Every structure is written in C-alpha cells, then in structure tokens.
Structure 1
C-alpha cells in the first residue's frame, strides 16, 4: 500500500498559489498572518500597502490588467473592515480576487480572544462570491483551490478564506489541482434568436458594458458593429473600456437616468445590450426602461443580469464568444445612416477640467492607460479625452472613492512598459493617499494628475440638480498634494496657471517612475 506523503498547510498553500499563476501577494501584515508570511518563496513577491483599502485596490488593478486572479492577505477582522469599501468596488468590478485573512488560534476561539474574528466568513458578505473558514487545518489547501475556481468562474469576483494562525504549520495532504475551462459559449439557439432580432431591425444599436472588457471582446464588438452598421453606446456607469471612442460607429455614453436612457435609444428599433444589465440607474425615474417600439436582447455571462431583465430576450454565456458568433451569422449590411467622426470640442484655455484633459489627450503617450476617479470631471473626460485602446481604461463601477490611486499601482505592475495616467479628484485622492508610498516603492510608471477644486464638487452638482440648496461638509480647503506626494517619495509639481500645464505634463510623461501634478482648478 502506497504511503500518503504529508506536507504542511504552508507548503500546500503556496503550491496552490503557483498552480493558479500567482506571482505576488498584496497585503498589510499583522500578527495573525506571520506564519503565512514566514519563509515566503522567492518567486512570489510581497506587495505592501499601508492600508487595507490600498491593498485591495492594488490587487484589483493588477488582476484586471493582467486578466489573472490576484492574491490578497488581510489582518483578521480589523483589516477586513478597513478593506470593505474597496472590496465592494472589486465586487462590482467583477474582479477575481482570492482574499485570505488571518484568524486567532483555534484553541482560543471559544474564549473571545484579542484579534479574534467572530463569524469571520460572514463579515465580508454579501460582497464576495464565496467565503469560508475551513473546519480543520488540513482542509485549508482544498478551500484555497475552490476559492480560485470560484473567483475565476464567470461572473468573476472576489472570494474570502479565513485561516487561523496556527494552521500553517499543521500537516495535510496536497489536494488535487484540476485544470478547468471556466468560460462557456452561449447556446446556439440563443445566438440565433439575437441574430434574428438584429437582422430584423432597420436601426440597430449595441449597448456595451464592462463584461465586454473582462472577456477580451473589444475586437469582436468592433467586428459586429461594422458588420451590421450598428451605433454603439457605452452602458451607464461602466467601469471599463468597451469600444474605441474614436470609431465612426461610436455614439456616446448612456447616462444613469431612466428617462434620458430612453431618449438616447429612441432612434433605434433593435437594441442588443452586451456585458451589462438593463440598465444601471443612478437616481429614481419613471416610465419604460427602454423605448417601447424597440426589440431588446441581452447577452451576458452574469445570471443576475438575466434574472433582472424586464423584457426582451436574454442569452447567458461568454460575451466575447457571443459577439464573435453574432458577427458570423448576422447579415452584413451598410449602416442605416452615415455617422461622421464626432468632432472633439476645443475648450477655452483656462484652469478647468476640460482644458487640462484636452491637453492630456494631446500630449499623452499613444499607448497610455487611463485609471480614473474624478467624478466631477467625468463628462469633460468623455468629451475630450477618448479611450482608443483595448485595456486602456479602469475606474470604479461601485461609485465609492479611494480606488483609482492605488489601483494604478496594480495596473502598472501588470503593464510595466506602459505609462499609466491616474486622473483623480482631490476628494478621491485623499481616501487612499498612502498608495503613493507603494507607487514610489515599486517605481511604478504612473503620472498622477490631481484636479484640485478644493471641495466634493460632485455633491454640490447633485444638490443643484435636485434643488437641495447648499450642503455642509463639501469644502476641503488647505490640502497641499504636491507636498504630501513629496513626503511619500513621489516627485511632484503644483500648477496654478495655464502656461504651466503643458510643461508639467511633458515632465510627467517623460519621467520614468511615479510623478504627481496638482492642478489648482
């Protein structure tokens, strides 16, 4: 009888990590994580963040840009709590993260110990796909295998495993490491139904969401739009790039308001939404969710999108496969109307978001990647700073702040030969300003651009929209971002006049490593 060779949980866990392509562990360590971090292998780097929100966002940016799962380690309940805001963002971004968190020793758990995480697996819910604290130490490696599979199974997302501090040195048996194909093509009859809807439309439109980017469907979307002559809209509040914004078929960005969505889509009689729900709204509205006269189809890998579909035809499956298949079977035809390339506005010179973003568009390296969290400047960005490359744009799909500054570090790690432009509002930047230290330590090639209007201006804009008058707590005067950046190891400049814009951008784009420009707008 063959003897079963036992190894430690630590050895088995790192074998699991390697099997799934992990080359970095993003963390902020504490006492309950020390046995995991002991004797870290040379082939897995430890990427330190000075706050758990920073850690999650760095891992999120890395996972999205590398299109691989990222590994995170948090410190018990306190660290998990610090991470929850950006964990919510990762959940809404659909980012495959495997999050481990330390737990007190098993023998202490009945006695309410210091640093004990009571009901640890429930704490991060509902913003993880799956969570577990294994019942026995020897079950930890198998739980990690399942965690990676759960994170990578569409719709992708974060998962959570709580590991007691005394588990890592315990003996276990190495679990089986299956190789799984997790992407599933849509059924043929579903594709046939969507194709018939598009072929039967005289004025078709595509509405594309982040699911297109997650599955690498950029080229497939272009091919389908060109084949059937469809206009292309970006889905409301989308966190990724879906279609080249300088393409003749690109029509614009749907707003997050029901009535305005219907107005934008009114010219069309056939609408295919791909990789997004129907629809994401930002405020209460009334009336139909899409034009009454139009036929509607939905293609998504997320069953939740289909279960919430208010009508029309829904097809479940990988979005890139589906778009490719539709481009194969739909009837090729000319566009129902010629769409000229949209002329980009030329803003008047001034210390305004529109003018600064237009100068970024003119001066940026051609392959630069944009990571954005400047809500007040979003409309200006869409007007004057087009995203024209695949995997060229990342933002928060959740609406919470504190994501983009550290996420840029993760994107830079995944794309080390590409300039990253991180566009931030002043309020957004302060949520996770510690991420500048991680950028400096990594030598990340990031040009941080802070649009400092000295307030939470997005809230003022909403107050005006809904007639709420003046609000308390929106002014944030007196912050010197250039000084903070210098103190955290990032070269910086402050620009307060128009003549300084282009020289500062030229400096940032020519410098290798992290820089920060504070624009006083």
Structure 2
C-alpha cells in the first residue's frame, strides 16, 4: 500500500523505533512538522535552540537507548551549526540519522536563500550521505540510512530532502524493514586462548567497543580467567571495565610513549574494541612495546592491524566473542594461577588508589577548591546508580582516577573533541533513562560552548545536575603550552571571572555556588531527588 512521502517517512521512523525527533526547524522543515502535527502516533519533537545542543541531545539519547536517534536540521546553516556534534558522534561511533530540508527544487538553479551543497557540507562528518531528489527514492534511502548507522563502525548518516518533495501529491511504496542480523562470535578464538593462556604476564586494554556492545560482563570474565590487569583505552568514552574491580589498572594516557611505558612489563596484550589508541599529543614511536604478543578483537574489520601489527586478529561481536574466550581460558589457565595474579594486582591497585584518595582528601578546603578536591567531592557524592556525563578536560582526568563505578553505561564522554557536547548529551541521557540520576561534570569553557542546551534542560524538566568546574581559563591549553616550553602567559586562554549561576537562572534553572568541597559532595549526593535541572558553579583555584 502506498503512502504520501511525509507519511511514508513517519511510518519508517515508527518502525525503526524512533519515539523522539531532536530538531531546530526552519522553513524547509515545515512539511515535516506538518506531518508530525497531523499524525496521531507521531514521535515527540524535542526542540533545541541551537543545532549543537540538538545533535548532542540525540547523541546522549542514542547511547542510552542503543538505537539510532533521529535528528532534523535546517538547511545549510543549521547543518553547519550541527557539524561539531556530528564530528563527535562519528568519532564516538554514535548511530544517528540526520535529515536536513533542502530548498524547493523548482528554483534551486537560481541559488535561492539558505540553499547550499548539503551533502558536500556533511560528508566529512558522517559515514554516508543521501541526496534524495525523487519521492519514490525517499523510503529506500531512509531505510538504508538506519541500517548504515548501526553497521560497524556505527555513526551518523545524513539525508538531504527538498521541502517540496515531502508535499508531492503522489504515493510511494514503503519497503518492509529487514532486521539487522546479529553478529556472532569471532572465528579463531582457540588461537587467542592459546596465546593468552601461555602468557606469563598478560594485560588487557578495554576499548569503547566493550561499552557500546554491552560486553563489560564478558570482559570481566576474561580478565578473571587469566588474572590480567585491565586498562581503559586512552580518553575512553564509556565504562568498559568496572573501576571498582581488583584488576582495574586505570586509563592509558593518550600518548604513544606513555602507553609503551605502561605496557612494557607485560608479554601479551588483548586489545578489545579499541580504536587505534586515539593519541592526543605526538610522541615518536609505536604505541606498543617491542616484543609484546598482540591479540586484537573488534567488530569492525578495518581496525584489525590498522595502527599496529597483531599476532592474531579476530573479527566478531564482542560480547559473544569475549564470553567464549573466557570459557576457553578457564580450561588453559589454572585457577590458582589466575587467583594469584588477581591478588598481586589487587595489592598494587589498592595501594595506588589509597595514595590517590589520600592526596585528594587532603586537598579539601573552602572555595575556591583545588581541582583534586573538586573531583573527589563529585566522585564520592555520586549516587550508586548515577550516570556521569563528563566534559571537563583537565579535571576530568582526575575524576577518572577517583570514580568507583561498575554499572554498564555509567560513564559517558566524547573523544571527538568538539566542545559543548556535555550539556545536551546529559539532557538526552535523562530523557532516555528518566529513573536514573544524571550528573554532568563540565569545564567552564565546555559549558560556554553548549550553554544553549540549558534551555532544553529547563523546557523538558530534565532532572540533571550540572556541575561546572570554573577555573576561568582554558586550563588544558595553558598546561600544554608550559609542557611545550612556552614562556609567560599563553594568549587567548583566559576567560576571566564567570558566574554560571546567573546563566542558569536566565534559562530558568535553579543554581548554587559551592562554598566548600564538603558542600559539593553533599549536593551531588542529592541528585537522585531532583525533579528538575539544577546547576552548581564550582570555583577552582
């Protein structure tokens, strides 16, 4: 049975599980808005007042629901505003389907206002683009976009749809949805078990694929089966291993020389779902120490051997692959050997955690707070089932060393590097999981980039606690400038005195300035009782 183009689009969205549309509309989206208004069971339209916040909300929502979020942007300018969010989503492998309304085809040759090369503009920031020019092609293009968005490596897919196409007086066929087949365990796990089972000093690098594919419990079984310490990949976007576990060894630094140093005492490494270690600052040489045996597992075949050679490379879904690998390792590694390794690792890691804990607790004071104290207060105040959405750059590195989290999905970051993601992502996360406390930990510079997201937080009454760590500077730039040998003040890095409580109240959000580390910890502990958003301005020294 045929459907009008706009109704066909809505039918596909419903079939793909889309219950919310994240957007900021313009004239070219009016036909789509009209269809949403007329349909009884249309998805809810979640409005953002800037496209950066719109895409970030969709990013947070998609990560929490595990399915592609749908985004509606307005022509060339709106798409350009959303590009930062799309770049973040592509780097973090968040599945999004993004549609922008193009100008009316009947006068495109006349270069009308607002028009532009939408697919050319979007292409560098997305997995694929579709320039839909015929109504009959729309349903197939949308179906393909949703399928591509989740196919490894997951990411955003873009569609350009002229506004007049959705109003055509014609009927189009809607192709039935073909469920994406589930990937199974990798082939070659026996070989991986042989290499890891024979290792005297095994180690594991937990990549973000583990968190994305809900493979954390399976990775825990692998680590325990061979007694291997586990590092998070550099600047991890997810909780890929419980930070409370005796085998947890912390996050690898985002430099090749530091990674080599961290792994030099091991003879075999399992790298599970990690994207090429994502270095930040350059250092010469490869990321892995010489002579180490490498077992690499990923659901994306392009990752195998991409940046370093692997002794065995495995392609398959991470959860079933790791589950089977754990079974094989229990047959190869004696239980007493694994337990002894766990005990030795626990002693090392406990001593390190105690030193870190003591240093942070000793830094407590009235405001302005030391960064260690602020990070510790947030970490110790978190409710047991909280979600941390972190975009704090410098203090975020300290927070990662202090949080004690074990529930999958409880830590979210973006390695994309486009500032302003955190506020919108936290709102999207709260919309997706309304019963779970959400704490957004933000640097002041990051918060300024995404401030418009507070409007959506207030409008939707999202019960998010926004913690703005306010040091009045782009501190990470100043630190790097010093490391590079810069002399004197680094130009362009001072933000000056900022009062984020005033910004929050402008958007209708309750706000308070933290007066001490103890007060900050208490405020964070009350997140579970929020019924609307709240902001804490945390002055740092």
Which TM-score band (shorter chain)? over 0.9
Compared CA separation, residues 182 and 91, structure 1 to 2 (3 A):
farther
Match of 2:513 in 1: 494
Match of 1:451 in 2: 469
Asked if residue 339 in structure 1 is aligned to residue 341 in structure 2, the reply is no
Asked if residue 222 in structure 1 is aligned to residue 220 in structure 2, the reply is yes
Asked if residue 93 in structure 1 is aligned to residue 112 in structure 2, the reply is no
- Further displaced range: 156-165 or 378-387: 378-387
Match of 1:21 in 2: 17
1:150-169 matches, within 5 Å, as: 150-169=148-167
Distance in 2, Cα, partners of 1:63 & 1:471: 38
Aligned residue among 256, 259, 264 for 1:261: 259
- Further displaced range: 312-321 or 254-263: 312-321
* 8 Å CA contact 1:153, 1:183 repeated in 2: no
Match of 2:448 in 1: 430
Aligned residue among 368, 379, 382 for 1:361: 379
TM-score by length of 2: 0.92
TM-score by length of 1: 0.95
What count of residue pairs does the alignment treat as equivalent? 515
C-alpha RMSD of the superposition:
1.6
Distance in 1, Cα, partners of 2:75 & 2:60: 23
Shift of 1:9: 0.5
Shift of 1:510: 3.2
Match of 1:290 in 2: 288
Compared CA separation, residues 504 and 143, structure 1 to 2 (3 A):
same
Match of 2:457 in 1: 439
* 8 Å CA contact 1:371, 1:395 repeated in 2: yes
Match of 1:513 in 2: 532
* 8 Å CA contact 2:73, 2:98 repeated in 1: yes
Compared CA separation, residues 229 and 500, structure 1 to 2 (3 A):
closer
Q: Which has the higher helix share?
A: 2
Distance in 2, Cα, partners of 1:21 & 1:116: 31
* 8 Å CA contact 2:276, 2:307 repeated in 1: yes
Compared CA separation, residues 288 and 153, structure 1 to 2 (3 A):
closer
- Further displaced range: 394-403 or 303-312: 303-312
Distance in 1, Cα, partners of 2:92 & 2:186: 26
Compared CA separation, residues 7 and 379, structure 1 to 2 (3 A):
closer
Distance in 2, Cα, partners of 1:94 & 1:87: 10
3-state SS, counterpart of residue 339 of structure 1 = helix
- Further displaced range: 343-352 or 132-141: 343-352
3-state SS, counterpart of residue 123 of structure 2 = coil
Asked if residue 70 in structure 1 is aligned to residue 89 in structure 2, the reply is no
* 8 Å CA contact 2:388, 2:411 repeated in 1: yes
* 8 Å CA contact 1:493, 1:504 repeated in 2: no
Per-residue deviation, residues 116-173 of structure 1 (Å, max 9, x unmatched): 122x212111221110112312211111011000101121110000000001122232
3-state SS, counterpart of residue 308 of structure 1 = coil
